[in-house]
């Protein structure tokens, strides 16, 4: 979603509220909350938690392009939020990744031995990108600065 699409979405949302049958006082309260910053933060949370649904069975490799391309992508038929996979945090050196089975069923696969209390972490983007590209993609696409061990080491 580019800035123009984001502006249009924000405008549509505001217009929807302005057309609702609510008092001026209620509308003033809504407009206090309904800022562009709030709208962008909601979109970032959706991007972080949504997975693209594709027709073809494939591996989970590039969530950023999946998330940002959303429905516009040729192969995508929609997006879904999966309860458990949405809880996994990002790491540029993940210990697990999502495997898609029969187009829409998500299965978590460990990439290495995992300790009993170790957090399962997946990579939201292409792990082969360099440090600056990962930082830029994660900040712009998901709204956070990555502080994983790999990024902290400058790799």
Compose the 81-110 pattern: x for residues touching Zn ion by CB under 5 A, - for all others.
-----------x------------------
Interface with Zn ion, residue 151, by CB under 5 A? yes
Interface with Zn ion, residue 148, by CB under 5 A? yes
Q: By C-beta, is 69 or 151 nearer to Zn ion? A: 151
> Cα(44)–Cα(40) distance, rounded to whole angstroms?
6
Within 10 Å of residue 52's Cβ, how many Cβ atoms? Answer: 22
Interface with Zn ion, residue 63, by CB under 5 A? no
Q: By C-beta, is 18 or 153 nearer to Zn ion? A: 153
Contacting residues toward Zn ion, per CB under 5 A:
92, 146, 148, 151
């Amino acid at each position: 979603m580019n800035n123009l699409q984001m502006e249009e979405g924000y405008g549509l949302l505001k217009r929807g509220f302005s057309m609702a049958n609510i008092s001026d006082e209620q509308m003033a309260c809504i407009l206090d909350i309904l800022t562009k910053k709030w709208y962008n933060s909601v979109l970032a949370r959706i991007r972080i938690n949504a997975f693209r649904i594709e027709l073809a069975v494939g591996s989970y490799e590039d969530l950023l392009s999946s998330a940002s391309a959303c429905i516009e992508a040729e192969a995508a038929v929609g997006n879904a939020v999966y309860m458990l996979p949405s809880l996994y945090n990002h790491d540029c050196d993940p210990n697990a990744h999502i495997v898609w089975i029969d187009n829409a069923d998500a299965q978590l696969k460990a990439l290495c031995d995992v300790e009993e209390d170790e957090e399962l972490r997946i990579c939201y983007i292409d792990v082969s990108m360099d440090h600056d590209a990962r930082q830029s993609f994660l900040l712009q696409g998901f709204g956070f600065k990555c502080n994983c061990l790999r990024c902290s080491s400058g790799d």
